[in-house]
Amino acid sequence: MFVLIKTCSTIYQHAHSASTIAGKRAVDLSGGSISAEKVQDNYKQYWSFFRQPKEIETAEKVPDFVDTFYNLVTDIYEWGWGQSFHFSPSIRGKSHRDATRLHEEMAVDLIEVKPGDRVLDVGLHNKKAGLDSLCEVVCGNFLEMPFKDNTFDGAYSIEATCHAPKLEEVYAEVFRVLKPGSLYVSYEWVTTDKYRGDNPEHVEVIQGIERGDALPGLRNYKDIAEVAKKVGFEVVKEKDLAKPPALPWWTRLKMGRIAYWRNHILVTVLAAIGIAPKGTVDVHEMLFKTADYLTRGGDSGIFSPMHMILLRKPQVPPTQS
């Protein structure tokens, strides 16, 4: 996991670029930074984390757990979705790509960025949008950020902090590095008020999402504001952006069976002839199953990937300045 620092002048360009750049070709599928011959082994390693759940509840293990996941799935994500694979509400008359761009730009609007501000992107982004010279990428664990106190004028995270075993630790770090008075917005993955822990189908869906998306455990929507206030934030606004009148965000996941099998056959052939690494077929199948769980979570209303919370770090009292 790493964090990405951007200045105000580059933020909209990044959101536009990342969401509009075309995806990877099927013949270019790989395992990210994992060597081709080790993709299958890393796929097995990823699932081994779930046989020892306590292992993914510690700050030391989370980077390995999440990095293994993203190295395995990023190429397939980019093949299907392009450079940005965030969810967003569907918008009539707009493509999924345009809807995602608007969803990302809204996060920047909410934190009231001004020219010259230093803004922290807390998450799992990359430099493929062609903005290498316009931003600074700092690799590290977002549970232990390598920045001084009171450094940034704003911060945002989009579907990233769900990978943290303890949200309090991430929010505390963001709070620490923000300047007093600055805003932080996060789009969180949560279970909603419709989720019932005693409903076996609900439990199956949520566990399927957790296992297929490298999540130590999904949080309930009620927990988000409580954690934020506990570390010192003021809650400015909180809203589930997936609720009506927003159109379903999961429509982009409803790939037809014919399309799935077409892609699955293609991946199988590429793996068989050595173009795609062994293990790619397993990863593709895992993501297809996860898409079904996400769709069921959206259809039933028990899961949202866009619970928005806007927070402010209080101004330092005059007596302490």
Beta pairing partners, 224: none
pLDDT above 80 for 273: no
In the predicted model, what is the mean pLDDT of the chain?
77
For residue 203, being part of any structural domain is answered with no
pTM of the model: 0.78
pLDDT band, residue 69 (cuts 50/70/90): low
Question: Is residue 271, in this structure, part of any structural domain at all?
Answer: no
Instruction: At 224, list the tokens.
Output: 């988000």
Domain count for the chain, please give it. Answer: 1
H or E element in which residue 210 lies: helix 200-212
**pLDDT tens digits for 11-35?**
443 444 444 444 444 444 454 555 5
Would residue 159 count as lying in a domain? yes
What is the total residue count of the chain? 321
Please check whether residue 75 lies inside any domain of the structure. Answer: yes
Q: Which two tokens stand for residue 1?
A: 């996991």
Residue 296 has pLDDT above 50, yes or no: yes
Range of the domain at 173: 2-192+215-247+304-313
219 lies in a domain?
yes
What pLDDT score was predicted for residue 254?
Answer: 72
Residue 30 makes CB contacts below 8 A (sequence gap 6+) with 36, 39, 75, 276, 277
* Residue closest to 215 by CA, chosen among 139, 293, 160: 160
Q: Which pLDDT tens digit goes with each residue over 116-125?
A: 888 888 875 5
Pairing of strands 118-123, 2-7: antiparallel
Q: Note whether residue 64 is domain-resident.
A: yes
| 233 residue type, one letter | F
Q: Does residue 61 sit within a domain?
A: yes
Distance CA 72, CA 161 (A): 19
Output the pLDDT for position 321.
Answer: 46
Domain membership of residue 321 (yes or no) is no
Residues 91/306/104/137 CA torsion (nearest 10 deg): -150
Residue 219 has which token pair? 């949080």
The enclosing domain of 174 has a CATH number of 3.40.50.150
Burial of 57 (0-12, 13-18, 19+ CB in 10 A): middle
